[in-house]
Amino acid sequence: MGLGIKDRNRIAKRAAAEISNGMLVNLGIGIPSLVPNHLTHDHDVMFHAENGLVGMGSAPDKGKEDASLCNAGGQPITIRAGASYCDSTVAFGMIRRGLVDITILGALQVSVAGDLANWIVPGSRVPGMGGAMELAAKAKKVIVLMEHCDKKGISKIVDSCTLPLTAKKCVHMIITELGVFSITKTGLLLTDIFAACSLNEIRFKTEASFTVSDNIHILQE
């Protein structure tokens, strides 16, 4: 069924709190594309797109889309003052040199070790892995935004990924509609719970085992 817009924006808002002024940030399609909407208008963050743009703004108002402006997923975007265009080779050069501070991606599965599977379900038709492989391997911090369970109610936070991997041991943080996990050297650590959820619900819906932070945060609407 998928998440409603309220849950999607709640996740995006929490992800936005990880971003600091001066950062270069890459956003995946789906929930990550909502993140710029939750930064202040005067922020000093440059959003990077693999198709050759640094300086994406928030999503355009309906009816004000520019057919010449889109992100790597083909979604309409706006640009900020100071934005610049380049070809895809230069955009990927920024990634491969480790210049991207944070990449915020969707996922099909994430393991306790931080392995990422986010590009294909076997038997499904997809356009390809895209830039996720480079971003997962080279960004300084990898944050995954996703629904906690798949359409069948099966946990997407797993002991070991059963889907083809995008990259190994690359994810630093997972944010779902239930809470926030950090991936540490000793395993999964639950750091935040959304106020509408409970610890028992998170344990029931999470395949992988995890520990709970001594200073857990309760996130309000």
- Which residues have a catalytic role annotated? 50
For the CA atoms of the chain, what is the radius of gyration? 17
Contact between residue 33 and residue 75 where contact means Cβ atoms under 8 Å apart: yes
161 by Cβ neighbours in 10 Å (0-12 / 13-18 / 19+) ranks as buried
Stated as kind and residue range, the H or E segment containing 138 is helix 132-138
CB 174 within 8 A of CB 183: yes
Strand partners, 104: 27, 143
Sheet holding 116-117, edge to edge: 116-117, 109-111, 157-158
